[in-house]
Amino acid sequence: MRNIIMTIVLLIIAVMLSVMYFKNLNPPGQQSGKVMGNIPADAALIFEYKNDQGFYDIFKNSPLLSTLIGDEKSAELNDLKVSVLDNPLLKPLFNGQSLFISLHPQKPTDAIDFLITTSSTADIGDELDQIARQKNGKVLIHEMQLGGKKGYNIYLNATKRRFYLMLADDKTFSASFSQQLVENAAKYKKEKHEKYFVQLSDQQNSNSIANLYVNYTQLSPLFDQLFSTKNTDIFRSFRMLSAIGALSLNYKTDALMFNGISHIQEQGPKSYLDIYRYQQPTVNKLKSIFPASTAYSINFAISDPAKFEDNLFQWQLKAGFTAEKKAVLNRIKKETSIDLNKEFINLLGNEFAIITTRYQEKIALVQLKNGLNLRPFMVNISTMVNDDMGLFNYDKLPFYLLGDAFSIFRRPYFMIADNYLIICNSQSGLTEYYKNYTKGNFLSKSDDFTRFDNLQAERSNVAFFINFKNAGAILKDDLKPAYAKAFEDKKSGWNNYYAAGYQFTASDGDFYTNFYMRLNQPDTAAINPTSN
């Protein structure tokens, strides 16, 4: 009995000591959460990585990140690393710490500045004061007040830029090339950060090379800074999603790949994309007939058309569109005796998509269960231009039948080819697509697309795609001049990426999310020229 009692006592002591030990540890996830709490909530994107040699070695000779952010920003970050993070006095205090680089749109200017937020193992103020007293050709440091807190003005001689650093009370600090942004961080009152950003678990954080955090509700102000027009359709549905996401990096030498979960905020406004949370993931096949001229697209996939129709009705009811929808459908029934909504849903397949070509034509592709059965209904509600093509007699039918993303088709032309309903705003655009369809002139026939598509998940519910070469002219026109230059730099511009894709796959009421960007295939003929 004595042995049993002694064993129990020792076990209790061991448990108490373990609890006390782990309570005093500072787990990576908790430290990351504490640091993230200092990032102002207007951040749209946050990139996190560990400040250790392993990360820098991975990307040392890789063009992935430098191509993404451009030579100028790459030079600034490199100079910052060499002059500050790698300084012998500071390096031991930052080694292994998580660095968060967040993007913040700055008004009234068109600038998008980044804020670096991290922590140190000890107060860095004394070390910065010591560096300031040294004669150093790389940096000049002066103490200053930033938002009422102790800060420093750091002049980086290599890039001729001033860098502002603000010390917080909890061994964290915020820094940026934008003084305004650092002062905003100094004045920021911590809120419940889980409202704005997902916090990864300790295990996920420690096992990932890098993480990308997304606050979807802050993408609109970010894109407003990028684009000349606020209503650009390229990211319209994406921007209206009320969600927060955390994606982890999967490293490939020629591609950026992130995957994780986007959590829908139930208390936020409901977007059109919310409808697809209630469908099962579906194989994406429609992309096989996207035209070779595709600049960008959004592809929708559903497992249950009847359930989709019911969820769409509920969304349109809340959005206030049901009265006008019923009026149009009742008019059609009165004039043609067709219950269009019923007949359309009965024949709707599992996929539909909107494509914008490099010529800025908008084309909708809708998969059907039986194209021949739908054709009589389409003919009766249209004015036929010829035996194969008609013009809808009623306004906004694609919007009423398929939802918000199709509002760009007010009274379009249509054609049925095999088991596909094809819609376009212009007769010439529809004719051109049909010509490419009959010739098999599809994007999927190119080796570059095949290489990119091999990265993507086979099943999803919403998939965004952009081909940078085909979209280049459109983006140069739509982006503000400062950002349009990113597509003009032949050495490090975004046109060195072939494409980007963003997939949402329904998962327990949220979206499992994949993000891809792949570099162009190197021109081997140019690298290894042969003589005749």
> Checking phi first, is residue 418 left (phi over 0); if not, alpha (psi -120 to 50) or beta?
left
The first and second tokens of residue 117, run together, are 């937020």
CA-based Rg of the chain, rounded to a whole angstrom?
Answer: 27
DSSP string across 54-89: HHHHHTTT--HHHHHHHHHHHHHHHHHIIIIIT-TT
Q: Nearest-5° angle of CA 462, CA 467, CA 473?
A: 125
CA dihedral 386→387→392→397, nearest 10 degrees, is -150
The pLDDT score that the predictor gives to residue 380 is 97
Q: What 8-state DSSP symbol labels residue 442?
A: B
Could you tell me which of 448, 444, 445 has the C-alpha nearest to residue 469?
448
CB atoms within 10 A of CB 187: 12
Strand partners, 258: 249, 515
The pLDDT score that the predictor gives to residue 34 is 75
Cα(339)–Cα(437) distance, rounded to whole angstroms? 30
Q: How many whole angstroms from its chain centre is CA 294?
A: 20
The first and second tokens of residue 491, run together, are 């050495």
Low-confidence stretches of the chain (pLDDT beneath 50): 1-30, 525-532
Over the stretch 336-377, which tens digit does the pLDDT of each residue have? 999 999 999 999 999 999 999 999 999 999 999 999 999 999
| Segment holding 391, helix H or strand E | strand 389-392
| Segment holding 478, helix H or strand E | helix 468-478
Strand partners, 499: 467, 518
pTM: 0.87
CA dihedral 62→67→72→78, nearest 10 degrees, is -20
Could you tell me which of 249, 301, 272 has the C-alpha nearest to residue 506?
301
Cα(94)–Cα(89) distance, rounded to whole angstroms? 10
The pLDDT score that the predictor gives to residue 36 is 84
The pLDDT score that the predictor gives to residue 491 is 59
Q: Exposed/middle/buried for 524, CB within 10 Å: 0-12, 13-18, 19+? A: exposed
What is the phi/psi pair of residue 323, to 5°? -65, -50
> Checking phi first, is residue 495 left (phi over 0); if not, alpha (psi -120 to 50) or beta?
alpha
> Checking phi first, is residue 84 left (phi over 0); if not, alpha (psi -120 to 50) or beta?
alpha
The pLDDT score that the predictor gives to residue 10 is 39
The pLDDT score that the predictor gives to residue 340 is 97
The pLDDT score that the predictor gives to residue 131 is 80
Task: Look at residue 466 and give its three-state secondary structure.
Answer: strand
The first and second tokens of residue 529, run together, are 């020229």
CB 240 within 8 A of CB 67: no
Task: Look at residue 218 and give its three-state secondary structure.
Answer: helix
